[in-house]
Structure 1
Amino acid sequence: MLDALTVAIGAAALALAAWCGHAAYRDQPTKDWHFIGMAVVTVLVLAQLAIGLFLLARGEKAHEGTVIFVAYLIGAFATIPAAGLLSLSERTKWGSVTVSAGAVVLAVLEVRLFDIWSGGTGA
């Protein structure tokens, strides 16, 4: 898979986590700018989903199995939109905390996706 895209998504997710964490520290809910950041991260993950499915359709195989790889791709894609929807229902600092936590989860999922695809060898 594209290692650079995986690293970019992980870095963007951690930046989003820090940004929303700072908003929570300041007792602020998620604002429109946070949702734009969530949209950017979601578009990157959508690209990763499309590329991953394309590579699987082309005949390449994930080291740890296709089903687990696709499950992680779909989970990674759903993480930020789910956190964003939850933050809309909680218009306090806890909405920002929710997005921050979701972004950290996405960064961890990206590490796991990398391991599933390459078998932990980095190749």
Structure 2
Amino acid sequence: MLDALTVAIGVAALALAAWCGFAAWRDQPTKDWHFIGMAVVTALVLAQLMIGLVFLARGEEPGQGTVLFVSYLLGALAAVPAAALLSLTERTKWGSVTVTAGAVVLAVLEVRLYDIWGSTGA
């Protein structure tokens, strides 16, 4: 697919995890600037989703199957917004921990997306 974007999303997700993890370590809830960071990461993932769908529409095939690839794209899109929503309901340090976990999940999903797209399925 687009390797540079996948790496950028993974790095941004880990940076968000470190940032929110630091806030949790300091016993702070997520603040407005954390939500701006979450929005940036989510925008990158949305761009990845659109690019992935364009690649599929052009006839390119992921190595491990289209359904699996699209499922991971949708899961990646949902990871950070779901964590953001949960952090809004938990206005303690545990909200920051939730976003940290969601961002780490996104980074892992990006590694898996890279593998799904590039592998031959063997």
Same topology, TM > 0.5: yes
Q: How high is the sequence identity, in percent, across the aligned residues?
A: 80
Q: Over aligned residues, Cα RMSD in angstroms?
A: 0.7
Q: CA deviation at 1:6?
A: 0.1
Aligned to 1:30, the other structure's residue is in SS state: coil
* Whole-angstrom distance in 2 between the partners of 1:117 and 1:74: 14
Amino acid at match of 2:94: W
Q: CA deviation at 1:59?
A: 0.1
Task: Show the 5 A alignment for 1:97-112.
Answer: 97-112=97-112
Structure 1 runs not aligned, ≥5 long: none
> What residue number does 1:68 align with?
68
Structure 2 runs not aligned, ≥5 long: none
Amino acid at match of 2:103: A
Q: Normalization by structure 1: what TM-score?
A: 0.97
* Structure 1 ranges of 4+ moved more than 6 A: none
Q: Normalization by structure 2: what TM-score?
A: 0.98
> What residue number does 2:45 align with?
45
- Post-superposition Cα deviations, 1:23-75, rounded to whole Å, max 9, x if no partner, equal 00000000000000000000000000000000001000000000000000000
Q: CA deviation at 1:82?
A: 0.2
* Whole-angstrom distance in 1 between the partners of 2:5 and 2:68: 19
* Whole-angstrom distance in 2 between the partners of 1:80 and 1:104: 9
Q: How many pairs align? A: 120
> What residue number does 1:93 align with?
93
> What residue number does 1:7 align with?
7
Q: CA deviation at 1:21?
A: 0.1
* Whole-angstrom distance in 2 between the partners of 1:66 and 1:55: 11
* Whole-angstrom distance in 2 between the partners of 1:36 and 1:73: 21
* Whole-angstrom distance in 1 between the partners of 2:58 and 2:17: 34
